[in-house]
Every structure is written in C-alpha cells, then in structure tokens.
Structure 1
Amino acid sequence: MLEVRGLRAGYGRVEILRGIDLDVSAGEIVAVLGSNGVGKSTLNNNLSALYRPFGGTIRFKGEDLVGLSSTEVVKRGLIHVPEGRKIFPDLSVLENLELGSLVRGKPNRRRNLERVMAIFPRLQERLKQLAGTMSGGEQQMLAIGRGLMSEPELLIMDEPSLGLSPLLVEEMFALIQRINREGLSILLMEQNAVQTLAIAHRAYIIENGHVTMQGKAADLLRDPALRKNYLGL
C-alpha cells in the first residue's frame, strides 16, 4: 500500500532523514518509534506532502506522491492526524468533524459521522460544545474522528498518546486497535514504545535519520538489545 524508498528529508539545508525505507501493507498497524527529534514528524510531513523531500520515492497504492499537493494526497486516501491534535478550538465538535470531510468523504458525511459516534460515544454527547473546552483525551478523540471522516485508506497518527494520562493512554491504544480490526491500515508514530509494540504488526526504529532496527513488533519487543538500549527494560 505504502512504499517509501531512500527518503531524504529535512528543513532548509538541514537533512534529518538520511535514506528511509518503509512499507505498510493493507490491514497493518506499522509503528515508527524513536525519541524526540529523530524525524518522525518530518517523515509524516513528507508523506502528507506538507513538505517536499530532498530525495527518494513515496508511492501510495502504486502512485508516486512526490510533487503532489497535500490536498491531492488526501483525495487519494492518505490521511494524517497530526501531533498536538490541531483541532479548531473555537468551532464546535460537530463543525470540526464536518471539516474532516471537506476534501474527501463528503457524499457519505452522515454515514461517516454515525461511525465516528459509534467509536467515540463521548463526542456524541458534546457535538455542540466548543472543541477548545474539552479535555486533552477528548480532543485527541476528536482529531482521530476528524481523520476518519475523510474515509482514510491509510491513517497516519503522530504521537496520539502525547500528554494523556496513563488511563487514557490505555484507552487510546485500545481504540487504535479497534479501528484497525475494522480494516483500516495505520502508520503509528510514537515514543511510547512498549504499548505501541504490543498492538503493532511490524515496527521500525529510527535513530539519527536512519532505520536501525525493523521487523515484527512482537520480535522487537523481545529483542534483548532493544529492551536494554531503547526500552530501558
């Protein structure tokens, strides 16, 4: 579904990603793990066409995405739920959700809204509430729900557990797993390695702009070197 080869990317003259290879197949949760500053958000921004890579290829469903606008990428079904939620605080929950179908999914807006309400019942209770007055966990649900309104074929999620309480983190990972079991492919960027590896099918570890480890998530979770040097176990 998604094929990334030799991706080099950064900002200005600063190269952050130095040749990334990555694949996501249909129906998978693929995790990209790394500490702050290793390039996870840079990867997301280039996949979503918010920036243009320095080199390499990005292919989605067999089509080259490099050079397309972010709107064209969304139209093809690759949807990005950004770090920090990026909701519209002065709009209602319903208005935020409806904006998710502005580019893609508009004909099925009502059906998609019903699906989001089924996944996130708390949002249904707050449809008229201003999004900025909700808790951090509810805002993260709203950001994911807005992404689902676009009928994604691949959903990129950037640090969905960031800033949440331990209880809400557990709930968030369970919701991600549920969405995947319904058939949605997910590329999950996270610092929370243990819980991410527990739900992912495969994973990549990024350090210093390179993929240093990759494989089945269950195997990586058991790897002695990874547990010692990265997970601190």
Structure 2
Amino acid sequence: MSDYILFYAPGTCARVPMTCLEEAGVSFESRVVSFIAKEQRDVDYLKLNPAGKVPVLVEDGRALSENVAILGYLGRRFPDAGILPPAETEFERCQHVSDLAFCASVLHPIVTRIRIPERFCSLDGARSDVWKLAAEMMIPHFDFIDARLGQSPWWYGEKWAAMDSYINWVWFRVTGAGFPQERYPNLATHAERIAARPSVQRVLARETAGQEDLVSRGLNYGFQPVASVPLD
C-alpha cells in the first residue's frame, strides 16, 4: 500500500507536488479526478478538500490541500530531496513560503484567465479581451522571472527546488494557451532543464496514464485556446 495518495488532474498545478514526491523517491498513489464528471464535487472528495480542487495530499488518512501548504510540508518531511532550500533562520523559511505564495496567489490567477478566459466573461467576443488583459498582466512577472533565471540555472542558484517546478508549470500552462514565448529565453531554457529531469518524466507518464483513463471513460476536457491576440 502506498504511503501517500495524491489527487490530481492532468496538466493542473498538482504536477508540482507530484514532482516533489518523485524527487523524494517515496511510494505514492496518484488518483485522477475528472472535472467533467464533477468528481471534485463528490461528497467524499469534499471531505478531503471542501474547496473541491486539486491537488490534495493524503497521508495516513489525513488530507492536506493548497500547494503552498503541501510543498512546505513535503520540504520539511523530506529535507534531503531539495524541495525547499535550507533555511538558517525563520525569516529565510518565510521567504521560501513567500516565493511559493507568489506562484499560488499572484501568478496562478493570471494563468487561469489566460487558459480559460470564458470563465470570467459572459459577453460574446469578450473571451479575447480577458485573455489579452491577463497576458499583459503576466508580462512584468515573466520579465522579473526571466531576469532571475538568467543569473543561475535554478530559482535558488545551482540546485532544483519546488519553486522551479511551480514556475515551469505556469510557463507550460500559458505558453500552451498562446502566450508569446520569444522575449523569455531563460524561461524557455529553464523549461528544457526541467523536462530533462527523471522525476518530471515519471510525472508526465503518470499524467498520460490519467489522461488515457479519462479518455476511455469519455471524460476528456476539450481545451480551445484563444486565437492569437496582439499584445501592447
């Protein structure tokens, strides 16, 4: 029996804690959740996470939701895995939490508006407007991230950390939804380094299996990207 269960949906930010579990080399079961079937709203699932979202990490029957909490827990639970960098002071530890919160509370909401803008508008033709406004909001953040990644191969220097996988997930989601990549060479190179990690390759294999399961049940989500919209 697996020590951990991670509830996820393919392509979602659950990829980040799944990568961390793989980096830690621990046994875990990954259980796919179908949004089309509204499995995230099932009574049993809502007992694990009343918000009805992924990811959820279950350990010994106890459930933990929200990436900042999950990644912080895994970082302290498996200190040798490099999930979080060493922190000599409480202030440094909180700086690491702040970085993860930047991804979760600043970048992630923008990602959602770029990826699925139709959830934020009701007027015909407004989908492209939402996408454009969100993409313009992302530009200064990506400028900052790209500049930082130009100074070292990973967010914290010479070693991978969970923050790198979180940034890469943001990059993956928005570039897959038409966000222009050309002005961010360091983010693109960072994505290549991420893709080469064995842990990430194992995660993608898990996601592929989950996607195949959804397709076999007729529960595949049909994503329709917004047509290219010029940015200022």
Q: TM-score range by the shorter chain?
A: 0.3 to 0.5
Query: Greater strand share, 1 or 2?
Result: 1
TM-score, normalised to structure 2, is: 0.35
TM-score, normalised to structure 1, is: 0.35
- The structure showing larger relative contact order (alpha-carbon pairs under 8 Å, at least 6 residues apart) is 1
